[in-house]
């Protein structure tokens, strides 16, 4: 029922993903934003504060802030405090390299803050191969500072074929720092377009991940792996793509997109410098299109209620068509493996011989 | 970070336990909770989780109700609405609020 209410579109987003800068001191191989140098046209601090005011007026509940590295943006911590004073909850994704005791002490006083620290391996060898030489040590130092100042945080890893075998070690590492582990999905956007062939998890790994998640109930995935979610884990998320229905993304220069992984000209709703955010949210044709999107090929699938066709961004980056099924859903993974000459996407019904898949997942 | 979601059911076919039908209750939002109006009724956000709760209360409740100033029955009687809310729907609404209370989204005052 909640899914149906959300599908019709809400008056404002529940949360907004906001990339506050493209500036980054790392060059991670899978970066969805292809971050590096700051965009010369980034919103000014005053414009950012006005946007926060607008979020507050529209009763957006939460702002998920990323980049680039947000803590490299001048005045960013002031902006965070301003957002909290306006009643917004924030969730900041950081690479951790700027987090020291001074910053951790300040973050520890923020009660409306969730913090996510990116780490892509339980050892320097694996993490640094993805995030850059020496980053593992810096991230460990950041986690230590956050612990000393009792800042709650989660460790966020993007699942790749390099770190898949370290899932258990990552969970242990996070627990040692009194943190949750969050596993995010590798998406072929930004630098991920070019690194997918060498970093993207293979089909067997994704299937094994579904089982691992089943066995590790406290690991968070958000909605990014809902196409792999078992019935048992459904309560953890909405089990549908929230783009344009519950959430949207704002780029450093104020461009508005349905989600962070669809920052392509085709999906540009407009810019907040030209059009009020509320108008962009409610009136933009591309947002309406996503709200009405039906992955028809999936509608007879027994798992449709659990996934609703999966992630349109992955479909877009794979087929240039958001109406195609997610190629990495459990059913399509099984189909591709058992029938490699068949199309990657496939509908399935309870009568289909492939259906007992869920039995293997102890659902 | 993504929220989990739940809808608060207001199904007239569901039996309602007798002690749930009291409408002489006032409520406040629990700490860390926010609420806003939507076309279907009210949408609650709880920072604990975070979690979302969809309450299909139509036009009958507003966020202002959760300032704890009025009992539910007083609030419903004061609404400037062409039709009074039927007793059965008042009861369903009261039961839905008790569900929200049990989930830690609102608290009685």
Least confident of A120-124, A174-178, A282-286, A350-354: A350-354
The DSSP letter of residue A237 is S
End-to-end CA distance of chain B: 32
Residue A202 Cα, gap to closest chain B Cα (Å): 25
Q: Testing the interface with A: which of B2, B36, B57 to mutate, by most A Cβ within 10 A?
A: B2
Contact between residue A180 and residue A220 where contact means Cβ atoms under 8 Å apart: yes
Write down the pLDDT at residue A362.
19
Buried b (16+ CB within 10 A) or exposed e, A88-104: bbbbbbbbbbebeeebb
The arithmetic mean of pLDDT across residues A1-14, rounded, is 80
Write down the pLDDT at residue A297.
85
The arithmetic mean of pLDDT across residues A95-111, rounded, is 98
Report the SS3 class of residue A166.
Answer: helix
A293 phi-psi bin (left φ>0, alpha ψ -120 to 50, beta other):
beta
Residue A296 Cα, gap to closest chain B Cα (Å): 24
Residue A362 Cα, gap to closest chain B Cα (Å): 22
Write down the pLDDT at residue B16.
46
Contact between residue A134 and residue A160 where contact means Cβ atoms under 8 Å apart: no
> Vertex A53, ends A238 and A98: CA angle to 5°?
75
Query: Could you report the predicted ipTM of this complex, rounded to two decimals?
Result: 0.87
Nearest by CB: B45 against A5, A61, A242: A61
Q: What residue in B sits closest to A63 (Cα-Cα)?
A: B1
Taking contacts as CB-CB distances below 8 angstroms, the residues of chain B near A3 are: 5
pLDDT-based confidence at residue A57 (cuts at 50, 70, 90): very high
Residue ranges in chain B modelled with pLDDT below 50? 12, 15-20
Closest CA to B79 of B88, B70, B67: B70
Count CB atoms within 10 A of the CB of residue A124: 15
Write down the pLDDT at residue A162.
97
Write down the pLDDT at residue A5.
77
Count CB atoms within 10 A of the CB of residue A309: 25
B56–A5 C-beta distance less than 8 A: yes
Which residues 217-276 of A are in CB contact (within 8 Å) with B?
A: 222-224, 235-238, 242
A236 contacts: CB under 8 Å, gap ≥ 6: A220, A221, A229, B4
Write down the pLDDT at residue B7.
64
Helix (H) or strand (E) holding A53: helix A45-58
Contact between residue B12 and residue B103 where contact means Cβ atoms under 8 Å apart: no
Taking contacts as CB-CB distances below 8 angstroms, the residues of chain A near B52 are: 2, 14
Write down the pLDDT at residue A183.
94
pLDDT of A108 higher than 90: yes
Residues of B with CB under 8 A from a CB of A: 1-7, 9, 34, 36-40, 43, 45, 47, 50, 52, 54, 56
Cα–Cα dist A235/A229, whole Å = 10
Write down the pLDDT at residue A239.
67
A353 contacts: CB under 8 Å, gap ≥ 6: none
Q: Chain-wide mean pLDDT for chain A?
A: 87
Buried b (16+ CB within 10 A) or exposed e, B46-56: bbeebbbbbbb
Report the SS3 class of residue A259.
Answer: coil
A235 contacts: CB under 8 Å, gap ≥ 6: B4, B6
The arithmetic mean of pLDDT across residues A96-119, rounded, is 98
Nearest by CB: B7 against A5, A91, A236: A5
Count CB atoms within 10 A of the CB of residue A253: 16
A238–B45 C-beta distance less than 8 A: no
pLDDT digits (tens, 9 = 90+) for A141-158: 999 999 999 999 999 999
Cα-flanking dihedrals φ and ψ of residue B108, to 5°? -75, 145
pLDDT-based confidence at residue A305 (cuts at 50, 70, 90): confident
Q: Is B24 exposed, middle or buried (0-12, 13-18, 19+ CB in 10 A)?
A: exposed
The arithmetic mean of pLDDT across residues A207-227, rounded, is 83
Write down the pLDDT at residue A349.
30
A273 contacts: CB under 8 Å, gap ≥ 6: A47, A254
* A257 or A295, which is more confident: A257
A59–B5 C-beta distance less than 8 A: no
Q: Is the dihedral of CA A229, A175, A242, A112 positive or negative?
A: positive
Taking contacts as CB-CB distances below 8 angstroms, the residues of chain B near A182 are: 1
For the CA atoms of B10, B72, A13, A279, what is the dihedral angle to 10 degrees?
110
Cα–Cα dist B6/B51, whole Å = 8
The arithmetic mean of pLDDT across residues A217-240, rounded, is 69
pLDDT digits (tens, 9 = 90+) for A337-360: 565 433 333 232 322 222 222 222
Write down the pLDDT at residue A331.
81
A222–B38 C-beta distance less than 8 A: no
A237–B47 C-beta distance less than 8 A: no
Write down the pLDDT at residue B80.
76
pLDDT-based confidence at residue A303 (cuts at 50, 70, 90): confident
B2–A223 C-beta distance less than 8 A: yes
Asked if the peptide bond before residue A186 counts as cis, ω within 30 degrees of 0, the response is no
Taking contacts as CB-CB distances below 8 angstroms, the residues of chain A near B46 are: none
Nearest by CB: B4 against A11, A182, A235: A235
Cα–Cα dist A61/A36, whole Å = 29
pLDDT-based confidence at residue A302 (cuts at 50, 70, 90): confident
Buried b (16+ CB within 10 A) or exposed e, A256-269: bbbbbbbbeeebbb
Write down the pLDDT at residue A224.
63
B50–A89 C-beta distance less than 8 A: yes
Q: How many angstroms separate the Cα of A280 from the Cα of each of A11, A21, A208, A254, B72?
A: 11, 21, 40, 12, 36
pLDDT digits (tens, 9 = 90+) for A72-86: 999 999 999 999 999
Distance of CA A96 to the CA centre of its chain: 17
Cα–Cα dist A6/A13, whole Å = 10
């Amino acid at each position: 029922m909640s899914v149906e209410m959300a599908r019709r579109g809400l008056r404002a987003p529940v949360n907004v993903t906001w990339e506050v800068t493209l500036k980054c001191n790392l060059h991670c191989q899978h970066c969805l934003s292809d971050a590096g140098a700051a965009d010369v046209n980034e919103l000014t601090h005053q414009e950012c504060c006005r946007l926060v005011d607008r979020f507050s007026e529209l009763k957006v509940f939460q702002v998920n802030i990323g980049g680039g590295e947000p803590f490299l943006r001048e005045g960013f911590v002031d902006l965070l405090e301003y957002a909290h004073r306006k009643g917004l909850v924030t969730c900041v994704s950081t690479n951790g390299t700027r987090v020291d005791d001074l910053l951790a002490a300040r973050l520890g006083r923020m009660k409306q803050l969730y913090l996510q620290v990116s780490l892509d391996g339980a050892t320097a060898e694996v993490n640094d191969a993805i995030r850059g030489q020496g980053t593992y040590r810096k991230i460990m130092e950041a986690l230590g500072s956050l612990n000393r100042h009792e800042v709650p945080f989660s460790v966020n890893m993007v699942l790749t074929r390099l770190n898949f075998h370290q899932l258990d070690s990552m969970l242990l590492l996070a627990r040692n720092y009194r943190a949750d582990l969050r596993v995010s999905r590798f998406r072929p956007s930004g630098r991920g377009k070019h690194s997918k062939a060498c970093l993207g998890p293979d089909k067997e790994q994704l299937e094994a991940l579904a089982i691992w998640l089943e066995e590790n109930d406290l690991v968070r995935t958000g909605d990014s792996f809902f196409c792999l979610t078992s019935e048992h884990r459904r309560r953890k998320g909405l089990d549908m793509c929230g783009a344009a229905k519950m959430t949207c993304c704002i780029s450093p220069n104020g461009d508005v997109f349905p989600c962070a992984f669809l920052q392509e000209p085709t999906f540009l709703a407009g810019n907040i410098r030209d059009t009020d955010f509320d108008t962009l949210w409610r009136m933009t044709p591309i947002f309406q299109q996503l709200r009405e999107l039906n992955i028809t090929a999936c509608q007879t699938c027994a798992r449709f209620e659990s996934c609703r066709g999966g992630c349109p961004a992955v479909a877009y980056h794979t087929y240039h068509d958001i109406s195609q099924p997610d190629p990495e859903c459990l059913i399509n993974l099984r189909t591709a493996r058992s029938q490699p000459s068949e199309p990657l996407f496939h509908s399935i019904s309870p009568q289909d011989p492939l259906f007992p898949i869920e039995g293997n997942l102890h659902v | 970070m993504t929220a989990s979601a739940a809808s608060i059911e207001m199904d007239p076919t569901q039996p309602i336990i007798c002690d749930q039908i009291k409408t002489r209750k006032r409520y406040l939002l629990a700490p860390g909770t926010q609420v806003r109006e939507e076309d279907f009724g009210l949408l609650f956000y709880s920072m604990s989780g975070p979690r979302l709760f969809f309450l299909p209360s139509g036009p009958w409740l507003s966020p202002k109700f959760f300032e704890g100033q009025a009992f539910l029955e007083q609030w419903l009687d004061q609404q400037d609405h062409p039709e009074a809310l039927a007793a059965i729907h008042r009861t369903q609404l009261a039961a839905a609020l008790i569900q929200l209370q049990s989930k830690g989204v609102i608290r009685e005052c």
